[in-house]
Amino acid sequence: MASLQHSPSSSIHQTSFLNSLPQLGVQKYGGVLPAVCRRGISLIVKAEHSSMASSANSLDKCGRRQMIAVGVIAPWVSLVNQTPPSFAAESNKGFLSVTDKKDGYSFVYPFGWQEVIIEGQDKVFKDVIEPLESVSVNLIPTGKQDIRDFGPPQEVAETLIKKFLAPPTQKTKIIAASENDVDGKAYYAFEFTAQAPNYIRHALGVVTVGNGKFYTLTTGANERRWGKMKDRLQTVIESFKISNV
């Protein structure tokens, strides 16, 4: 699934997540997305095997230059400096669009965010200056046909957040969860916060099912910047659509 910044010490991956949630009825995710470098320029940061508190302290020390991987913890992160050909021109003011024709989804993200490659994630874009500002997309195979087969919005959101989107050391709070219908397809959207020792991440998520996959998109920002970013992040969430492939 898509994810927030995760604690290295928790070592929670897609496989363990699925094992802990048999009620989702999904298959184990076996895909591995290796770090890649384009134009020969790559910034690689090894995830520290330390507590969330030490990770937060490291963020304070390194400040605006530190790359922090967002989503399920990945051993390596690679900053991609070239926009792939599947990306359209600026879709509207302040945003760029991406369409994945192979996996059947599309969304927009704020102009200026960079793509980073994280093991196990399908797409991740982030602001390298404000590392908590990001969007990620994750796909997991499923035999279900509809997101409603997994339960109501609040139940699905609680399960994802507690079991996967935040480490157990963080205090989470669901603010809202709702169901939306777009072109006959049901989507669950939710809003939550995850509190770490030195910061709070305010996040939005959307999940749906189609093409034999459970799709999750998550985006968010530091709570201190929520007032500035919430409308832009809501645009990201509302832009997420899947198509038949």
CA distances from 204 to 29, 84, 190 (A): 23, 25, 6
- Six token digits for residue 189: 């959207």
Residue bearing tokens 């994945």: 100
pLDDT at 48 over 60: no
pLDDT recorded at residue 110: 97
pLDDT recorded at residue 162: 92
CB count within 10 Å of CB 180 equals 14
pLDDT at 105 over 80: yes
- Residue with more model confidence, 92 or 165: 165
C-alpha span between 10 and 16 (Å, rounded):
11
* Mean pLDDT computed over every residue of the chain: 74
Per residue in 137-159, pLDDT (tens digit) is 999 999 999 999 999 999 999 99
C-alpha span between 117 and 199 (Å, rounded):
24
Percent above pLDDT 70 for the chain: 63
Percent above pLDDT 90 for the chain: 60
pLDDT recorded at residue 212: 97
Non-local (6+) Cβ contacts of 236 within 8 A are: 95, 107, 108, 109, 110, 135, 204, 217, 219
- Residue with more model confidence, 76 or 1: 1
pLDDT recorded at residue 93: 86
Across 21-31, average pLDDT: 36
